[in-house]
Structure 1
């Protein structure tokens, strides 16, 4: 082999090594890879966290935490989860209290595994939205005056830019989920994504389902002390690539700087839900039967009203569904595209208060399978 050819090959190898290092080996941003959270149990899946810049002129950026599925992540869908409030953190709530892979230990200095994490069934994406929530921020103070429209638009921009970081997920099935005031966030974000799909001649969001715990007004329950203590540890923020601008306030579950519209809670979400169903995207509304914040009867009545407007007939009469030989809750379905389900024994934060039943419900939602109406073998053990 000539010296010039050998040198060319060395250059090629060097370039390939550089590309692998820059992209993290799988096309994902290595700078966002979470190598190891303080006190974290050993796991076989990857975690990523960092910022997506929404508006460079205003200096507005949203913080995200992304967890790959525990098994075969390349064959699993992507699920976005948002907490509500408005103004409460999806990282402190969904990711580290309800359905993510870890819970903080009682001392606030370590983590323990969540055996019923939803990353058993899907890749999970959590976003602190809007700016002013958690570690998401803006260098323009007026951006902290937010409402449903600006929040939906920022999340739409976030999704576009997040896909630039994780391009292999652009074609992946996308499920949009959340709880409490996310009953406003998720439908309005879905509406923005549908607007994009309608006008785009190229990339389109591959939306496969929408699920939320409410479609009326409510407030999230505050998280406990150990979450706040853990997320304010400097070593935790460093591991998560968080708080890069050294915010003048500590991380808290619900924002003290956000000024969210007090009237947007009255926005009628039913027309948006109607459009989603008409685009052949199934909607699941689920509720804890012990939820004192958002009583299930109100949600059930709104779903019935929506089904009536869409001329959808009852395909599954309201009745019990089962999990592990016990009643998991009650469910009714309209026209194979609109489902209302309760989770027995669950409070406002369904995945936290009934993790096993919530994981069963979530897996059925992803697979587009009906919740079982017999006491046969469970979908998950």
Structure 2
């Protein structure tokens, strides 16, 4: 019996050796493939609850400062058709301090929108025409992080520098997008992010031609502090959100740019405090300032939004999409699929609670940078006022 067993074991050794060799070769092949194609580590197999799609998705981190372990989180979706021939579009949301993942990708122009426990296809997704790259910037926004709390103190200069380093490092992960037509776009405070990044790219290209920057586009951008902010009074008044008397004091006694400037300096005057209290009472915190025609979302009971819908519209708008996005992105299975982690925070939020942005940078006029970009041959498009009124 013992001889037979020994003989059997001896005869099986070549097979065991062969299996081990095959396993080692497979591992070598895998790691060689990842080394040649580093983006494979960031590939998303499937997001929980997503519909079946034909395009590839990637997400993960790009380190922009090794010493302080500053890392920016990105979400990248390739174009639905012929991604190799489509441009690369970088999308940046504003705030400053709000997430391009939660707002841009999952609420506005990305491929999916959360609906309860699942994702539904966004038929108006920009990845129908382009390869879309969503960046959570600066550090401290969304899943982007740093191990040093001092890194949470940032402003326009640091943010622009980090965004440039991100693009450089991201192209090392995705070398197939080097020299691809690049467009940078975004909304709100991206009126600072986009022109400032484009300016750095032009400067960088003078030393090393890496970026094929073809244009920028800005939606509802902050370009000139006083002009942009003081238009709020007329908007509120013309949409019936404030009374005639409140409109008069909001344009004479204390306009919005003055109030914001005083607020950021921690020196709000009594007159501005009184005016803003009156404006706040009349506009209500429940009204969506970006679309005053929308219904109200009662966060605690999402279904109540249906009760508050007496009017009929041609297309149903999910007024609770922000709440559903927050719930979705805080699911452990979703974070695992995204290769994301929470560092220094307990939960993912639409806008950062830990970021200490230098808000006086808001007063920097970036409209002059846009002018210099145009002179440098960079086309741009801007929508200062979105058409949202329904007849």
What TM-score do the two structures reach when normalised by structure 1? Answer: 0.68
CA drift of 1:14 comes to 6.3
CA drift of 1:223 comes to 6.2
Match in the other structure for 1:209: 215
Q: Is the 8 A contact 1:54 1:158 kept in 2?
A: yes
Query: Is the partner of 2:384 in helix, strand or coil?
Result: strand
Which structure shows the bigger proportion of residues in helix conformation? 2
Query: Is the partner of 1:79 in helix, strand or coil?
Result: strand
Which residue of 130, 144, 147 corresponds with 2:152?
Answer: 144
| Compared CA separation, residues 249 and 127, structure 1 to 2 (3 A) | same
1:333-372 residue pairs with structure 2 within 5 A? 344-345=387-388
**Aligned equivalents of 2:207, 2:33: Cα separation in 1:** 36
**Aligned equivalents of 1:346, 1:270: Cα separation in 2:** 27
Which residue of 56, 60, 77 corresponds with 1:50?
Answer: 60
Match in the other structure for 1:256: 353
| Compared CA separation, residues 116 and 228, structure 1 to 2 (3 A) | same
Match in the other structure for 2:334: 236
**Aligned equivalents of 2:87, 2:98: Cα separation in 1:** 25
Which residue of 359, 371, 380 corresponds with 1:274?
Answer: 371
**Aligned equivalents of 2:367, 2:122: Cα separation in 1:** 34
Query: Is the partner of 1:263 in helix, strand or coil?
Result: helix
What is the CA deviation profile of residues 104-133 of structure 1, one whole-angstrom value per residue up to 9, with x for unaligned ones? 00x2x2100000100000000000000000
1:109-258 residue pairs with structure 2 within 5 A? 109-200=117-208, 203-213=209-219, 214=221, 215-217=223-225, 224-243=322-341, 246-258=343-355
CA drift of 1:171 comes to 1.1
CA drift of 1:18 comes to 3.3
**Aligned equivalents of 1:15, 1:255: Cα separation in 2:** 40
**Aligned equivalents of 2:75, 2:361: Cα separation in 1:** 27
Q: Is the 8 A contact 1:87 1:258 kept in 2?
A: yes
CA drift of 1:28 comes to 4.9
Q: Is the 8 A contact 1:93 1:223 kept in 2?
A: no
**Aligned equivalents of 2:164, 2:343: Cα separation in 1:** 26
What TM-score do the two structures reach when normalised by structure 2? Answer: 0.67
Q: Is the 8 A contact 2:126 2:132 kept in 1?
A: yes
CA drift of 1:21 comes to 3.9
| Compared CA separation, residues 223 and 110, structure 1 to 2 (3 A) | closer
Query: Is the partner of 1:81 in helix, strand or coil?
Result: strand
CA drift of 1:41 comes to 0.4
**Aligned equivalents of 2:38, 2:322: Cα separation in 1:** 33
Match in the other structure for 1:62: 72
Could you say what the CA RMSD is over the residues aligned between the two structures, in angstroms? 2.5
Structure 1, unaligned runs of 5 or more: 1-9, 290-343, 348-381
Q: Is the 8 A contact 2:224 2:364 kept in 1?
A: no
What is the CA deviation profile of residues 236-265 of structure 1, one whole-angstrom value per residue up to 9, with x for unaligned ones? 00000001x544321000000001112101
Structure 2, unaligned runs of 5 or more: 1-21, 230-288, 291-319
**Aligned equivalents of 2:191, 2:162: Cα separation in 1:** 17
Q: Is the 8 A contact 1:223 1:253 kept in 2?
A: no
CA drift of 1:29 comes to 1.7
Which structure shows the bigger proportion of residues in strand conformation? 1
Q: Is the 8 A contact 1:288 1:346 kept in 2?
A: no
Q: Is the 8 A contact 2:51 2:121 kept in 1?
A: yes
**Aligned equivalents of 2:156, 2:321: Cα separation in 1:** 23
| Compared CA separation, residues 92 and 216, structure 1 to 2 (3 A) | farther
Determine which structure has more spread, i.e. the larger CA radius of gyration. Answer: 2
- Of structures 1 and 2, the one scoring higher in RCO (CA 8 A, sep 6+) is 2
Q: Is the 8 A contact 2:114 2:321 kept in 1?
A: no
What is the CA deviation profile of residues 128-182 of structure 1, one whole-angstrom value per residue up to 9, with x for unaligned ones? 0000000001111111011000000000000000000000111100000000000
Q: Is the 8 A contact 2:146 2:343 kept in 1?
A: no
